[in-house]
Structure 1
């Protein structure tokens, strides 16, 4: 074979290849800047995507056959291997030539392209060596170069594979392959923006302007950076920094401030999927809200301040604790919470809402403290209780039902600490369950400072929170476990969003990438290299807490020592932010809306700074006792007052929100499930219980003898009712009804099965319609039915109720707002 090609032809081919490798560079250096590339170079460059597949397939196949020939060089595969090496080597060199021509003529640049180009050139060089050694072996009939040939072959296959990976990233995006790997899709999840366009319609204040800019940049980051950032620059357009955004791309400016209709950016994002000019060209198109946001931003003049100006506009909450002096008692108020609320009401001209009835209060504290509805016997006992302070007494008794309390609050902490019974990582030991530690901590009412210490400097049972999830396959740099720990600790314990600052300097706060990595370094076994927008910078991270006032972390210490230092420094009383965050979370659980909203953004302005500061300081001074805090809120007059309803969640997040009392809210998935199990029929079987802290017996210390929803794995029913996927931190659930929830409650198999079985029991025990209706109302709503409700029941079920009719009637009662809402 080599006799036909000849020595001189091989060397002339290599010289010809080197000449062509140099041509694009030579052309760029000597041609006038405004001239377009010679048409032939452009044409050949566009053949690169077609030609490039040859060396990948041929060289990999040759390497595979070579493995089978390791013991016998002159195996039957040798002719095939030689042919594959010649074709693969030549096509690798030609691919490199065409790739350089493509890069120089199409105006694409960026860090990913640079890596693709560099590894491609190395691979072309290795291919040349491969051909050279193959020639020497065939010419000399000597096997002295066989080992070298094989080494070069395997290096070339590695090189061509890496080159192909970077090429695929350029063409389809960096997560084109990894995003479809089972269990890996969630690692790439990007939080959906909660865009309130109405808040930007009026004249923009400096604060609103910065919020608008932050949301615009988030849209760019989530949708445009794959092709238009420092990592990759298509069409000479970058959208990651101000100067590049307004400079535009190869076709001129893409933004005309004040005129969305003249802005090329707006035209392109509104094109239909599949149009050759639509942007983003790859992946999902922008949704209507994102498009409207960009149009509004441009209409407002496309504001984008310089970095220096950006520093002064974000509100930053005080770190240190503060203990404001309590207002003087007035209007018969004694609970400190009521004194602060009364002061707020006076300042804003708000009247105190009326006190709720005993029935509403009892149902409220049962659901808020232990997650259950009271039985009719408990309700009647409460009504007959004549003690003047019976509400406080019953509240404390509920808090002393340790197992019921722990089971209910397990849901809250499972959501926040990303803990579950099944899911990504548990089978492969890429994730650790903390349920046993968490349940026992709640059952014994572990002081919150100790609770946090054991999360941050964990034992084997509590390590799952900071260990995070080790995703299978390739993940973003910002999703490595050390950065997960930094993000999750920041969010849950400090009410701080570090997710943006884990990829680049934050758009919504002053936090910098280097600060996030320094915090993440505390959780690392070795020093982390900082990656900006997924590209390694070569700079190693420092090691420190986010606030230097809280103390230092030894840079050279072991991971266990760093975690111990972090735990001690973070829980100290001087960290007022940590204790404001937890009292704000508990307040929201009890009152329906935080003093600060969202609860994960504690730099936002509270509706009462004094109440928040006082609660946090009082919490620290009284032993970090969460049950005491719950009792303090539950005993207040404002907690015992009538609730307020809101049409949309946006009203609760509005900047002009005024506190008027408890927010009416829907039962959680677990509360609703347990209520159905109490009233109708158990929804979950004993074998579905994933964690069993006690046996289901009257002696267990729990008041129920069925499997509670908090202890079972997530399923379609619970998901429809709002239980989140716990692969990301979730600290708030949507209280508004959804279409999915309506469909599940109307047609779901689980609820329907429970209604069928429950109707049989009700039919057997209550053959009379009036008795049946009265019993159902007492058990579900803790009241007797009104006469008009009895009339409806008689019409539906007649005088002799049958199973099917009872089933329908039970279903109708379960859907009543009075059953589904906490009033």
Structure 2
């Protein structure tokens, strides 16, 4: 970009566009940039074959590819700078593309320096290889963001099969023929709201705070009427003289057509914009409150319960029955005792029931035994707390090790959290202590204090705003932390005003990492909930925020938590994704009723779990889903519990129960009995929830808790398959487990029957027993039992919650 600052470059008399030759070179950038992408990546690929022998026959070819790739990366970066300085494109994506490209070009220069010698010193080889791989990855990333600039941010993802049902909603929601006379105030608002919808669905990719082509933004009123680098885009009352109408009306192959990429506007959309300009381009202040996106109600709502039916007395079942009738769906059969007991044990305390417990349950004559056993499980305080600790650790980004703990830039909340779960602390109180924290609960809003320079959107105050929004309110503020969101109505100023509540001093607003000079206001996201005293201390602001958020009038907060608990037990939320509570629920009535009932009954999380797990729909047959994308489909129909895989922690605990402990004492980072003396360990092994993360747990889906994680993938992965097939940790457990089983059960048939009973809660079939006898002979060998254990652990019957 510095080249454009020299006066001699502007020789064509147009100081805005620059010298024609530099413009030409700049426009060669898209062509030149493909050379380093292909050459460096291919060179890196070939380099993989030379790790055991640097003097591999491929070396001359790799050298030529790396030289050509490095030179073309530098040339491409220069041409890219010329393009950016002469074409008037700005925005966040360009900045990312530009800096990745410049960094990759810089690394390529160093790579060229190393390549000047045909025989580098041995100690320089790792440096050379690192530079080659990083440069290749860098130019590939730069190319990706370049494609986002030219084709839109969803250029890659929009063709994926699961994106077929997530197209932009229809933007025309009015009858244009009704606007033939003078517009009423309400009609002006309606017309302008639909105009905003057209802009959002068709134009924001290139003309919003994220990316600004031609100095034109269409995401706010003042920018629309200001126009772009060529002046105003519309003349109020005169669509025939308005540049925007001319451009959207052109044919697909015309140089000036807009949008220049993707689908053209429909005839109805062009008619709408034409009519809007013809009517004087009204944009009343009320348009700001008329969302083009679905916005869930804030206030609570408690609809009247449908009438009960025999066997459907639980309020949840009454709402589900109404939904089934409306959608012509049938109730499935209730599961047998074995399936139900295994399901509630895993869902409530995260452990497998024993054969003895199953026997007692099946022989219990009490018709209310399922309710009684469920209640007894909820009263196993420490088993319950250790299981649900995983859920809340993911949600509140709490962990035992990781970024920030060594430098005191992060604070664990484990002691406070465990006690809160164990004591069944009312949810409103739990939230108040997270937002207006004690010393033990401050880690959530303090977030991670990253070392070095961080993005403005990663300041701890903005982290707090984002995380409170996501976790407690089911709201995505991440886009609006950098610029005005183009996936919702949230504005940058609103995010900063919310973040300012968590700040010691007033924050300066930064747009796309550029300080604006404007100081943030101090406001809650919904002013209906109350005001925050901007002059108060941080502690007082947090107290006010906590009091205002937890009040019953904040129906959104309680819909969010009941939706999360429902998803945890049922496999799919009433609203999906669970962090986007403005999305339509499959049953608005059920969601609203559950949220109000939760408030009216003391914000009791255990009661909510009991209410769901005692319903008939929870006790019904599970539903197999072919692909997780179907759970997010717009035409999703709820039919019951979604069949799902054991979590990393559930699987690990089950292996430790049946084979040998997976984790040693050094990995245990939290010991409940040290915090609560009466919480004596009830198991002869450390539960996975209280150990630090490791490769085994990561492969099974335990997330990195440096960010909020509110959902885990239940699909098996290649990494999981490799770990379960060749992982050292599982193998060690199986080795010990094989010996232990042979010591306890030296006879093959007895061992087989006992293992099936403890792992699968059933007897082996005749065929299974015959296979085991054939494999073991009369007396099993520990190595054979080790393989047998492994085979059982890989069975879908073991790994799935049915």
Q: TM-score range by the shorter chain?
A: 0.7 to 0.9
Structure 1 residue 379, shift from structure 2 partner:
1.4
- SS of equivalent residue, structure 1 residue 372: coil
Q: Which runs of 5+ in 1 are unaligned?
A: 1-19, 44-98, 117-164, 248-252, 266-293
- Provide the rounded CA distance (Å) in 2 between the counterparts of 1:605 and 1:795: 56
Are residues 799 and 672 of structure 1, via their aligned partners in 2, closer, same or farther at CA, if it must alter by over 3 Å?
same
Structure 1 residue 205, shift from structure 2 partner:
6.8
Is 1:769 matched with 2:748? yes
- The aligned residue for residue 306 of structure 2 is 327
- The aligned residue for residue 626 of structure 1 is 605
Contact 2:617 2:640 in 1 (8 A): yes
Match of 2:483 among 499, 504, 513: 504
Are residues 388 and 259 of structure 1, via their aligned partners in 2, closer, same or farther at CA, if it must alter by over 3 Å?
farther
Contact 2:157 2:163 in 1 (8 A): no
Is 1:685 matched with 2:661? no
- Provide the rounded CA distance (Å) in 1 between the counterparts of 2:638 and 2:355: 33
- The aligned residue for residue 418 of structure 1 is 397
Match of 2:373 among 394, 410, 413: 394
The two structures have a TM-score, normalised by structure 2, of 0.72
Are residues 762 and 34 of structure 1, via their aligned partners in 2, closer, same or farther at CA, if it must alter by over 3 Å?
closer
Structure 1 residue 799, shift from structure 2 partner:
2.5
Contact 1:350 1:660 in 2 (8 A): yes
Superposition map of 1:223-238 within 5 A: 229=211
Superposition map of 1:709-748 within 5 A: 709-748=688-727
- SS of equivalent residue, structure 2 residue 616: coil
How big is each residue's C-alpha offset from its partner over 1:81-116, in whole Å with a ceiling of 9 and x where there is no partner? xxxxxxxxxxxxxxxxxx9xx979962668899xx9
Is 1:612 matched with 2:591? yes
Contact 1:496 1:601 in 2 (8 A): yes
- Provide the rounded CA distance (Å) in 2 between the counterparts of 1:40 and 1:263: 21
Are residues 220 and 667 of structure 1, via their aligned partners in 2, closer, same or farther at CA, if it must alter by over 3 Å?
farther
- The aligned residue for residue 578 of structure 2 is 599
- The aligned residue for residue 652 of structure 1 is 631
Structure 1 residue 591, shift from structure 2 partner:
0.6
Contact 1:584 1:596 in 2 (8 A): yes
Is 1:350 matched with 2:329? yes
Contact 1:207 1:314 in 2 (8 A): no
- The aligned residue for residue 293 of structure 2 is 314
Contact 2:202 2:265 in 1 (8 A): no
Structure 1 residue 798, shift from structure 2 partner:
2.5
- Provide the rounded CA distance (Å) in 1 between the counterparts of 2:720 and 2:4: 64
- SS of equivalent residue, structure 1 residue 543: coil
- The aligned residue for residue 524 of structure 1 is 503
Structure 1 residue 794, shift from structure 2 partner:
1.9
- The aligned residue for residue 644 of structure 2 is 665
- Provide the rounded CA distance (Å) in 2 between the counterparts of 1:40 and 1:496: 45
Contact 2:12 2:20 in 1 (8 A): no
Contact 1:200 1:208 in 2 (8 A): no
- The aligned residue for residue 770 of structure 2 is 791
Query: How many pairs does the alignment contain?
Result: 650
- The aligned residue for residue 10 of structure 1 is none
- Provide the rounded CA distance (Å) in 1 between the counterparts of 2:107 and 2:473: 34
- The aligned residue for residue 704 of structure 1 is 683
Contact 1:421 1:690 in 2 (8 A): yes
Superposition map of 1:415-454 within 5 A: 415-454=394-433
Match of 2:467 among 475, 482, 488: 488
CA RMSD, aligned part only? Answer: 4.5
- The aligned residue for residue 13 of structure 2 is 31
- SS of equivalent residue, structure 2 residue 344: helix
How big is each residue's C-alpha offset from its partner over 1:523-554, in whole Å with a ceiling of 9 and x where there is no partner? 01111111111111111111111101100000
Structure 1 residue 197, shift from structure 2 partner:
4.4
- The aligned residue for residue 789 of structure 2 is 810
Greater Rg by CA: 1
Are residues 200 and 815 of structure 1, via their aligned partners in 2, closer, same or farther at CA, if it must alter by over 3 Å?
closer
Are residues 608 and 700 of structure 1, via their aligned partners in 2, closer, same or farther at CA, if it must alter by over 3 Å?
same
Structure 1 residue 697, shift from structure 2 partner:
13
Contact 2:302 2:596 in 1 (8 A): yes
- Provide the rounded CA distance (Å) in 1 between the counterparts of 2:768 and 2:538: 65
- SS of equivalent residue, structure 1 residue 638: helix
Contact 2:415 2:675 in 1 (8 A): no
- Provide the rounded CA distance (Å) in 1 between the counterparts of 2:667 and 2:354: 25
More off after superposition, 784-793 vs 456-465 = 784-793
- SS of equivalent residue, structure 1 residue 808: helix
Contact 1:169 1:176 in 2 (8 A): no
- The aligned residue for residue 819 of structure 1 is 798
- The aligned residue for residue 171 of structure 1 is 102
Contact 1:496 1:602 in 2 (8 A): yes
- Provide the rounded CA distance (Å) in 1 between the counterparts of 2:733 and 2:197: 48
- Provide the rounded CA distance (Å) in 2 between the counterparts of 1:373 and 1:263: 66
More off after superposition, 560-569 vs 468-477 = 468-477
- The aligned residue for residue 347 of structure 2 is 368
Q: Which runs of 5+ in 2 are unaligned?
A: 26-77, 109-130, 132-137, 139-144, 146-152, 173-195, 232-243, 274-280
- Provide the rounded CA distance (Å) in 2 between the counterparts of 1:559 and 1:397: 43
Are residues 649 and 506 of structure 1, via their aligned partners in 2, closer, same or farther at CA, if it must alter by over 3 Å?
same
Is 1:637 matched with 2:616? yes
